């Protein structure tokens, strides 16, 4: 019974090679690792919190490979000889809540360096191995609804994710000839520790949810499931998209 149930969870295409997940010590990243392993993938997990990575590895059997997203040397050393079929760029930094008038440019620089530059570096070095292996591949960048519409206080975060969406589109254009697909997912708020300090305030969160058709916060698993789908053969004709997972917020 359990064996047949497990095989039912397997998704075609995820067995083609290891899948690297950055930001795996965070909520969405860890949920993605768990769902990928359940779906039959071999997973390599990277993240900042080494203790959480270790416990995730114990729970799922994933390999761990921590590196510094802000350092090209660190990314290169970790990834240039790593054979992968898929990548989830989930490493992210929330930065600050600020307007263009009072933003701290050093925080802006850090947000850009992790959310956009870091994902580009990972794409740079993993795509080299994907091309060499010649089996195609799939990359999913975890973006945000903040790249699609203007949100108060999100000058740094929204800008970094808009840059990430363009990295997605251009990478899809350049890598398509090798059978490598590149997509973004653009989640609404998941009530993690990172987001609760802002979105958890009633004066902020209540009117936001009131304007969203589904009217509730997303769960980590609701973001992870479309990521897993985009890595699978079920999405074999999908590339270059930014997929809102936002309860209809950006459509309303």
Q: Which domain CATH number covers 229?
A: 3.40.50.720
Residue 206: count of CB within 10 angstroms of its CB:
9
User: What pLDDT is recorded for position 192?
Assistant: 78
pLDDT value of position 193:
73
Residue 243 domain flag: no
Residues (pLDDT < 50) of the chain are 1-6
CA gap 119, 20 in Å, rounded: 12
Sign of CA dihedral 108, 251, 119, 34: positive
Q: What angle do CA 147, 249, 228 make, to 5 degrees?
A: 70
The owner of tokens 């080299």 is 128
Q: Which two tokens stand for residue 103?
A: 């933003």
217 lies in which domain range?
2-238
Residue with tokens 């039912």: 8
Phi-psi region of 215 (alpha: psi -120 to 50; beta: other; left: phi over 0): left
E strands along 80-150, which residues?
A: 86-89, 137-142
Three-state secondary structure call for residue 184: strand
pLDDT in tens, 130-188: 999 999 999 999 999 999 999 999 999 999 999 999 999 999 999 999 999 999 999 99
User: Could you give the number of structural domains in the chain?
Assistant: 1
Question: Residue 245 falls within a domain, yes or no?
Answer: no
Active-site residue, selected from the candidate residues 85, 125, 157, 178 = 157
Tell me whether residue 193 is in a domain.
yes
Q: Does the annotation mark 157 as catalytic?
A: yes
CA separation for the pair 214, 211 (Å, rounded): 9
Q: Is residue 244 part of a domain?
A: no
């Amino acid at each position: 019974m359990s064996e047949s149930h497990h095989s039912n969870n397997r998704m075609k295409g995820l067995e083609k090679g290891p899948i690297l997940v950055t930001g795996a010590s965070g909520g969405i990243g860890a949920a993605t690792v768990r769902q990928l392993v359940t779906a039959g993938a071999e997973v390599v997990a990277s993240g900042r919190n080494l203790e959480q990575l270790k416990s995730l590895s114990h729970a799922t059997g994933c390999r761990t490979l921590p590196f510094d997203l802000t350092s090209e040397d660190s990314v290169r050393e970790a990834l240039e000889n790593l054979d992968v079929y898929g990548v989830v760029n989930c490493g992210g930094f929330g930065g600050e809540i600020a307007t263009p008038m009072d933003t701290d440019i050093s925080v802006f620089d850090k947000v850009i360096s992790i959310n956009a530059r870091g994902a580009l570096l990972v794409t740079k070095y993993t795509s080299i191995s994907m091309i060499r292996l010649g089996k195609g591949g799939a990359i999913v960048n975890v973006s945000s609804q903040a790249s699609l519409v203007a949100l108060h206080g999100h000058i740094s975060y929204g800008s970094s994710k808009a840059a990430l969406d363009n990295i997605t589109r251009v990478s899809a254009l350049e890598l398509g000839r090798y059978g490598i697909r590149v997509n973004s997912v653009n989640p609404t708020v998941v009530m993690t520790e990172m987001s609760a300090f802002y979105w958890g305030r009633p004066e902020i969160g209540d009117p936001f949810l009131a304007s969203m058709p589904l009217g509730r916060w997303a769960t980590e698993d609701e973001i992870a499931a479309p990521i897993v789908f985009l890595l699978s053969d079920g999405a074999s004709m999908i590339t270059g998209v930014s997929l809102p997972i936002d309860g209809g917020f950006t459509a309303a």
